[in-house]
């Protein structure tokens, strides 16, 4: 079946291109160098096809920013510090994803903040709101006068007209306070 072969870190730079270039991560050259550095921390590993492992590692690493690659390559806190043997592509992906989580959280928070600020600007933009005069004119067309200077109780209609307009009985009308409510102190 398969004859195990050893991964030689020097082969990493010869990895064929596996990305169309549309990913937001590092370039193929940077990913190949990162893979070479990563595998150089570990003793050679026997795998079915080292070029497939290297190509998969390079393709995977191309999906992440430099900061994530630097983090997983750190001999203090990265994969070389936490693993005894060369990691599989899945283990490399898991390490990259754990380091991407705070970056994605920060990006989501920044996007939410931008959206919130944009929404606030729309709320604060009063150019599309009606002016006091426009509102007063609209209400006046419906028989409600809110303009300053009108005398108390003069809404442009008699008591009987008001009761008829709103369908109030004498008892309902008498229950309406004549003066503004007083605050209880």
Same domain, 88 and 10: yes
Distance, C-alpha 72 to centroid of its chain: 25
User: Cα separation of 154 and 169, whole Å?
Assistant: 20
User: What is the count of structural domains for the chain?
Assistant: 2
Same domain, 140 and 96: no
Q: What is the pLDDT of residue 5?
A: 41
Same domain, 15 and 65: yes
Residues 6+ apart with CB under 8 A from 93: 60
Quick: pLDDT tens for 132-185.
Answer: 888 989 998 988 888 876 544 445 677 888 888 888 898 888 888 776 656 655
Domain that holds residue 143: 132-174
Which runs of consecutive H residues, i.e. helices, occur in 125-153? 132-141
Quick: pLDDT tens for 61-100.
Answer: 999 999 999 999 999 999 999 999 999 999 999 999 999 9
Same domain, 36 and 86: yes
**10 falls within a domain:** yes
Same domain, 56 and 15: yes
Same domain, 14 and 96: yes
Same domain, 31 and 91: yes
**122 falls within a domain:** no
Q: What is the pLDDT of residue 131?
A: 84
Same domain, 83 and 34: yes
Task: Single out the residue of 35, 140, 40 nearest to residue 89, CA to CA.
Answer: 35
**68 falls within a domain:** yes
């Amino acid at each position: 079946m398969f004859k195990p072969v050893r991964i030689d870190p020097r082969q990493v730079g010869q990895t064929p291109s596996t990305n169309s270039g549309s990913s937001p991560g590092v370039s193929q050259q940077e990913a190949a160098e990162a893979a070479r550095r990563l595998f150089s921390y570990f003793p050679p590993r026997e795998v079915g096809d080292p070029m497939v492992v290297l190509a998969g590692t390079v393709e995977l690493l191309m999906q992440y920013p430099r900061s994530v690659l630097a983090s997983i390559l750190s001999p203090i806190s990265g994969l070389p510090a936490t693993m005894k043997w060369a990691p599989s592509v899945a283990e490399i992906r898991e390490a990259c994803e754990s380091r991407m989580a705070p970056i994605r959280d920060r990006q989501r928070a920044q996007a939410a903040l931008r959206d919130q600020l944009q929404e606030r600007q729309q709320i604060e933009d009063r150019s599309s709101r009606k002016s006091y005069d426009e509102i007063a004119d609209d209400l006046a067309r419906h028989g409600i006068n809110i303009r300053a200077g009108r005398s108390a109780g003069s809404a442009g209609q008699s008591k009987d007209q008001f009761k008829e307009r709103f369908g109030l009985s004498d008892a309902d009308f008498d229950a309406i306070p004549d003066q503004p409510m007083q605050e209880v102190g």
